[in-house]
Structure 1
Amino acid sequence: MRAVVFAYHNVGDRCLRVLHARGVDVALVVTHRDRPDENIWFRRVADTAADLNLSFLYNEDPADPALADAVRAAKPDVIFSFYYRSMIPADVLALAPGGAFNMHGSLLPKYRGRVPVNWAVLHGETETGATLHAMEAKPDAGYIVDQTAVPILPDDTAGEVFEKVTVAAEQTLWRALPAMMTGHTPKRPNRLADGSYFSGRKPEDGRIDFTQPASAVYNLIRAVAPPYPGAFTDLGSRRFIVAQARRIDATAAPAGLTPGLHVDGSRIVAICGDGGALWVRQLLEGSTADHASPVSTSDFQHILTAQSREEHR
């Protein structure tokens, strides 16, 4: 099997290594350049390709005719996409007579679309996974080749779940390749009516609404916790990120406090709309988690006191 691989991020790194280990002839790797505004906490596929002595090129515009020319020149049997950020045009996919396949970070047909791991954590799911499926014009809509499930534990952050999904992607591809390489690719239905589609998330989507139930606030904190930008709230002109939190048992939650952040003895707590509370284990001040500084309980008490004085002037 000869392949062209579009890849990025940790899933791209691991799946590219699986292809190499299984003896797939990877004729060309297409990846992204790092964005200067992004926290690069993951592996660079360009480094992986260089490590495996594979030809690679950078591309941010899949509609560029030069990309189609490069793929055509590589003469692939199949095309793979492993967390490549952009939709690959149909005319490029058609250059692989054996089909084009994508690795998606959910159990399709659930959570089609962007950032599926974050959405799964946000919605309080207890399971997600990785799915290898055929690519077609509609996102994440082609038939399913194989998939692997992983658990989402009650206190898992999206970053921790993504690590599990990366392993699930590696396992799924490893298991599927022998049949694919002999021309017997499994084909399972991808029943879109039984699933869901979600678009990308914006930084503003991380704003905490403390009037929501404690479960919803906690899920948001877990879904965007570092290495993602973090769930945040503003006090005056200052932005605070709740980077780590834990649920507080209802019998131990402080009473009589309004929804928001408070100091309760030696700890910072978040009071939510249903009376539930969270222990804020790490509070940061800054625009995003990777550009923020830790705030101690005593420092935050001073900030709250100053804020209260300002509001009562």
Structure 2
Amino acid sequence: MTIKKNPKIALVGSVNSSLRTLKKLHEHNCSISAILGLSPDVSNNVSGYVDLKLEGERLGYPSAYFTKINDLSVFEFLRKKEIDLLFVVGLSQMVREPLLSLASIGNVGFHPTKLPQGRGRGAVAWILLGKTPAAATFFLMDEGMDSGPILGQKSFEALDTDYAEDIIHKIKCAIDEVLDELLPQLNNGALIALPQDHEKATFLGVRKPKDGMIDWSKTDREVYDLIRATSTPLPGAFSEFDGSTIRIWRSQIKPQYTGVPGRIVAVIDGSPVVCCGRGSVLIEKYTSEKEMNFRIGKEFA
């Protein structure tokens, strides 16, 4: 479809993908009318949080904080900007009416899966757990969840050795590739949107920090994958040891060790090898509430 050239754009977001989008909008000299960043006051449970207001101000754009995207104050702030496109990138809150109808052309959403596969929440972890293919996808938003027509999509491979931060880096690189194609089109007054095949849609359920709890009766591969999928900047896989919580950020599979699940079978350079339902894992990097005393025979809960 043909749209006005150099449409006025507002960006809403809270994480690394939001910042990457802002930098690309700036790089392509897009007409940025406003930047809205999630307030730091409500960012405690946001993995990979970025203060988008601060970054917007640094680049010279009108910027503000919000706590709830559908608040009337947000609507009024953006209404005065007379925006043509609203980019909503890296935000778990669903945009509702009347904000959904405010931009004259429409709203652009982002999702890090190969839509229509993988609609929903917790995408980075689900990608690493092998439940959905990875991609950077920009789409026109509708009232559904990640269901609108696709504007641009770049797939990438998730390796079985990747951690969450590796996937996030790949997402940011894929965002660059998509926006390097999409933004010049928008500036020139073109908008190409391809409908999703809803019959091929799959859906991802929300993940919570408690889902990182390690079940040592699982195989070494399953424990290793959970650690990768929940590692920084996500909340981390965790277990109980010696009366305290230990969060595990890096590990290695050690299939040569066998023993009782959850029990330390060896200590290598101060790091414990913990038995699983099959095989074992070496805990390479962790944080804990107190100093840990790892000894052969001690157990993780």
State the TM-score, normalized to the length of structure 2.
0.88
Separation in 2, partners of 1:265, 1:24: 56
Q: How far did 1:202 drift?
A: 1.3
1:272 to 269, 273, 276: 276
Higher helix share: 1
Amino acid of the residue matched to residue 285 of structure 2?
A: Q
Separation in 1, partners of 2:291, 2:134: 32
Corresponding position of 1:93: 100
Matched, 1:192 2:202: no
Q: How far did 1:117 drift?
A: 1.1
Q: Answer yes or no: is the 8 Å Cα contact 1:8–1:85 preserved in 2.
A: no
1:113 to 116, 120, 126: 120
Separation in 1, partners of 2:211, 2:122: 13
Q: How far did 1:182 drift?
A: 3.2
Corresponding position of 2:260: 258
Amino acid of the residue matched to residue 67 of structure 1?
A: V
For 1:210-235, what per-residue CA distance to the aligned partner results, in whole angstroms no more than 9, with x for missing partners? 11222221111101112222111113
Corresponding position of 2:222: 216
Amino acid of the residue matched to residue 225 of structure 1?
A: S
1:171 to 148, 169, 177: 177
For 1:135-194, what per-residue CA distance to the aligned partner results, in whole angstroms no more than 9, with x for missing partners? 011110001111112221221111111111012112212211122233321222322332
For 1:47-66, what per-residue CA distance to the aligned partner results, in whole angstroms no more than 9, with x for missing partners? 21011100111111222222
Matched, 1:11 2:14: no
Separation in 1, partners of 2:250, 2:190: 46
Corresponding position of 1:72: 79
Separation in 2, partners of 1:37, 1:117: 18
Q: Answer yes or no: is the 8 Å Cα contact 1:148–1:171 preserved in 2.
A: yes
Separation in 1, partners of 2:217, 2:74: 49
2:164 to 158, 162, 172: 158
Which protein, 1 or 2, shows the higher relative CO under an 8 Å CA cutoff with sep ≥ 6? 2
Amino acid of the residue matched to residue 300 of structure 1?
A: F
1:301 to 280, 290, 295: 295
Corresponding position of 1:228: 234
Percentage of matched positions with identical amino acids:
23
Separation in 2, partners of 1:89, 1:50: 26
Separation in 1, partners of 2:247, 2:153: 35
Corresponding position of 2:211: 205
Amino acid of the residue matched to residue 279 of structure 1?
A: L
2:154 to 124, 148, 156: 148
1:259 partner SS: coil
Q: Answer yes or no: is the 8 Å Cα contact 1:210–1:271 preserved in 2.
A: yes
Separation in 2, partners of 1:97, 1:11: 24
- With over 3 angstroms needed to count, the CA separation of the structure-2 counterparts of 1:39 and 1:26, relative to structure 1, is closer
Matched, 1:59 2:53: no
Structure 1: stretches of 5+ with no match in the other structure: 287-292, 309-313
- With over 3 angstroms needed to count, the CA separation of the structure-2 counterparts of 1:39 and 1:187, relative to structure 1, is closer
Q: How far did 1:124 drift?
A: 6.3
Query: Which is worse superposed, 236-245 or 144-153?
Result: 236-245
- With over 3 angstroms needed to count, the CA separation of the structure-2 counterparts of 1:60 and 1:199, relative to structure 1, is farther
Taking only aligned residues, the RMSD between alpha carbons, in angstroms, comes to 2.4
Q: Answer yes or no: is the 8 Å Cα contact 2:43–2:49 preserved in 1.
A: no
Q: How far did 1:113 drift?
A: 1.3
2:294 partner SS: helix
Structure 2: stretches of 5+ with no match in the other structure: 1-6
Q: Report how many aligned residue pairs link the two structures.
A: 292
Corresponding position of 2:3: none
Q: Answer yes or no: is the 8 Å Cα contact 1:263–1:300 preserved in 2.
A: no
Separation in 1, partners of 2:188, 2:294: 62
For 1:72-113, what per-residue CA distance to the aligned partner results, in whole angstroms no more than 9, with x for missing partners? 111011111111231111321211121111121111112211
- With over 3 angstroms needed to count, the CA separation of the structure-2 counterparts of 1:215 and 1:187, relative to structure 1, is same
